[in-house]
Amino acid sequence: MKNVESLTLIAKNDNMREMISRIDKIVDSDSSILLVGETGVGKEIIAEYVHRSSSRAGGPFVKLGLSAMPPDLLESELFGHVKGSFTSASYEKKGLFEIAHNGTIFLDDIDDVPVHIQTKLLRVLESRELMRVGSTVPIPIDVRLITATKIDLKDLVNRNLFRPDLFYRINVVPIKIPPLRARRDDIPFLIEHFLLQYAPNKKISLKNEAMRAMVGYSWPGNVRELKNVVQRITLYVDDEINLDDLPPEIRNENPIEFLLKACNKCYVDGSMNFDQIVKCLEHNLLSEALKKTNGNQTKAAQNLGLSLSTFRDKVKKHSINCSKE
């Protein structure tokens, strides 16, 4: 667990610890960082952690969710405007890059930036100066840029939807944040953290079956969803959280539905045909069954409703290693 000026990152998972270790090595550089991860994994929290850990901590931390910003207002929001530069510009306005001078600016959902704004953003990053909309006077800026995306930007580059030169400019230090389902060993500690945050005056604990359901759930909304669930439960539970206290989607999640949601490659990779998707899903289904039985093929076959011989044939076909019988 890392704490920087009351900003806490929960990280018992080895991959998360390695990620934080990488971040700690580059916080004091001015290199651009690209955070890559699903919605709700905590990209904004990590961006703020970078800022608070860096030599820029005394400067401003400015953030903007680009997907929520109308395209016609985005240029003015980022770079500012002068009075009279367009119909509704009745006053002079500083943009977020100016406001973030000597600090850090965090642009979430960078994949949603229109191409014409990408061009101006690239120019600002390379020249380290900007011009407000309607102005011809350059304004020098000293800003550390952190961006975030929920998708593979290389795919947008290949489809001519994202400028390759801007991609290489913001992708100096790529940081991939694992989804919560890939760091399940962190879930009990996150739950404890959120219980203390939302119910500091209560002594709330989870019964074993409730904890097993929470750890086993796929968490499509990641840490944000977990945080909201814990907050909701603390409103009406005073001491012990039972299985019945959990939302129905957590109590009743179908393992097959979990597998389908977890196997992102099958649906994100548009180049896969039907047979390849089926093969991918079958491979993941077999692997997940073995993982849950600690490599015991007999139990894994029973859980999937297959005969042991059929299960072994499929494992061999997919070249899946089994650590135990």
Kindly list the structural domains of the chain, giving each domain's residue range(s) and its CATH number in brackets, ordered by start: 2-176 (3.40.50.300), 182-253 (1.10.8.60), 256-317 (1.10.10)
pTM: 0.76
Are 233 and 195 within 8 A, CB to CB? Answer: no
- At residue 218, the pLDDT reads 87
Share of residues in the chain with pLDDT > 70 (%): 88
Instruction: Tell me the torsion sign for CA atoms 137, 138, 143, 145.
Output: positive
Long-range contacts of 4-11 (CB under 8 A, 24+ apart): 4/49, 4/52, 4/53, 5/52, 5/57, 7/45, 7/48, 7/49, 7/52, 8/193, 9/42, 9/45, 9/46, 9/49, 10/186, 10/189, 10/190, 10/193, 11/186
- The predicted-structure confidence for 106-123, as pLDDT tens digits, reads as follows 999 999 999 989 999 999
Confidence of residue 323 (pLDDT cuts 50, 70, 90): low
Cα separation of 264 and 181, whole Å? 12
- Closest C-alpha among 202, 261, 262, 274 to residue 233: 202
- The predicted-structure confidence for 82-101, as pLDDT tens digits, reads as follows 776 676 666 778 889 999 99
**Residue 160 burial (CB < 10 Å; 0-12/13-18/19+)?**
exposed
- At residue 264, the pLDDT reads 55
- The predicted-structure confidence for 130-173, as pLDDT tens digits, reads as follows 988 887 889 999 999 999 999 989 999 999 999 999 999 999 99
Cα-to-chain-centroid distance, residue 288: 23
Instruction: Tell me the torsion sign for CA atoms 107, 110, 112, 115.
Output: positive
Classify residue 163 as left (phi > 0), alpha (psi -120 to 50) or beta.
beta
Confidence of residue 325 (pLDDT cuts 50, 70, 90): very low
